Chain A
Amino acid sequence: AQSVSQHNHHVILSEAASLELGCNYSYGGTVNLFWYVQYPGQHLQLLLKYFSGDPLVKGIKGFEAEFIKSKFSFNLRKPSVQWSDTAEYFCAVNARRTGANNLFFGTGTRLTVIP
Chain B
Amino acid sequence: NAGVTQTPKFQVLKTGQSMTLQCAQDMNHEYMSWYRQDPGMGLRLIHYSVGAGITDQGEVPNGYNVSRSTTEDFPLRLLSAAPSQTSVYFCASSRRQGTSGSRGFYEQYFGPGTRLTVT
Contact = CB atoms under 8 A, between A and B. Distances in A.
Contacts, number: 59
A44 B90 contact: yes
Contacts of A97: 104
Which of A34, A101, A105 has its CB near the most chain B CB atoms (within 10 A)? A101
Contact of A102 (B58, B101, B107, B113): B58
Interface string B98-119: 0001111101111111000000
Interface of A: 4, 32, 34, 36, 42-46, 49, 90, 92, 96-108
Nearest to A92: B43
Contact of B45 (A32, A102, A108): A102
A82 B29 CA distance: 34
Contacts of A106: 42
Interface of B: 31, 33, 35, 40-45, 48, 50, 58, 90, 92, 94, 101-105, 107-113
A38 B92 CA distance: 14
A108 B50 contact: no
Contact of A101 (B35, B41, B50, B111): B50
Contacts of A32: 104, 107
B113 A103 contact: no
A100 B105 CA distance: 8
Contact of B43 (A42, A98, A105): A105
Contacts of A46: 107, 109
Q: List 5 A-B pairs, minimum CB-CB distance, nearest first.
A: A101-B105, A105-B42, A44-B110, A105-B43, A107-B42
